[in-house]
Structure 1
């Protein structure tokens, strides 16, 4: 059996099941400011703590939705399997992303992953659809939910 066929067989057992929960990561004001600078999105609700505290219902600044989403790659390193014979993983996109709750500065986030689908695209490519929930510590409503597509490339 080829390495990719072994990976498919492993994943067939995981379909519909949680495959991992990442470590927590704090999203502090410094991280938000750095993201704002890099993306040129320096809207005051992200970078002006005094104004955000006075003029928003959030009590302070909030992280960019795309900052929360960008942490998905880091969360995946904590949770998602690397298959025997896999030489790289590639982000293939998203079917759906919904931002459900603002992430206030100082919050801690983690990723929760559920394997939804696998598809052998060729003898070297395995496509995986993973349900991703980015949770906010102490909150019932997550920051976001997404259907994430990735490719595992084999030798």
Structure 2
């Protein structure tokens, strides 16, 4: 795991891959809970029998937004940003979904530091996030997440 203690340490990684998370399995229980939390019960996600008989993937798939919602959890496995008063999820930019994530797939986040700026004491970073699907040639998505850090 990468440990970052201050702006200068963060900046030293500009343009570099920061690391990869552990593999995470997205199972039907997680998909169902996400459907309940977001009120998105589209059959392609939650109806295993219909997905098997009528769906293009012959199984259920994870919600695209479920896969995006894993970013904070997986990011914390890549980097431990210390000496901060506050961390803010500031934005997501230019995300493209490349491939559906089938139920019981394993996914892993890869992160690269695309930009960093000191905005009058607030550190703004843009991380290129790629969600890899185990044994698949195309990622689930690629895009940028933007964090603000208030270092002590």
Mean CA deviation greater in 38-47 or 93-102: 93-102
Cα distance in 1 for partners of 2:24, 2:93 equals 25
Which residue of the other structure, out of 146, 151, 155, is the alignment partner of 2:148?
A: 151
Runs of 4+ in 1 over 3 A off after TM superposition: none
Superposed counterparts of 1:102-141, under 5 Å: 102-123=100-121, 125-141=122-138
CA RMSD of aligned residues (A): 1.2
Is the strand fraction higher in 1 or 2? Answer: 2
Summarize deviations over 1:46-89 as a string: whole Å, max 9, x none. Answer: 00011001112212000000000000010110012313x21221
Indicate whether 1:20 and 2:3 are aligned.
no
**Other-structure match for 1:53:** 52
Aligned length: 148
Which structure 2 residue ranges, 5 or more long, are not aligned? none
Cα distance in 2 for partners of 1:25, 1:134 equals 11
Residue 15 of structure 1: SS of its match in structure 2?
A: coil
Give the deviation of 1:9 after TM superposition. Answer: 2.0
Which structure 1 residue ranges, 5 or more long, are not aligned? 1-5
Cα distance in 2 for partners of 1:8, 1:38 equals 36
Give the deviation of 1:45 after TM superposition. Answer: 0.3
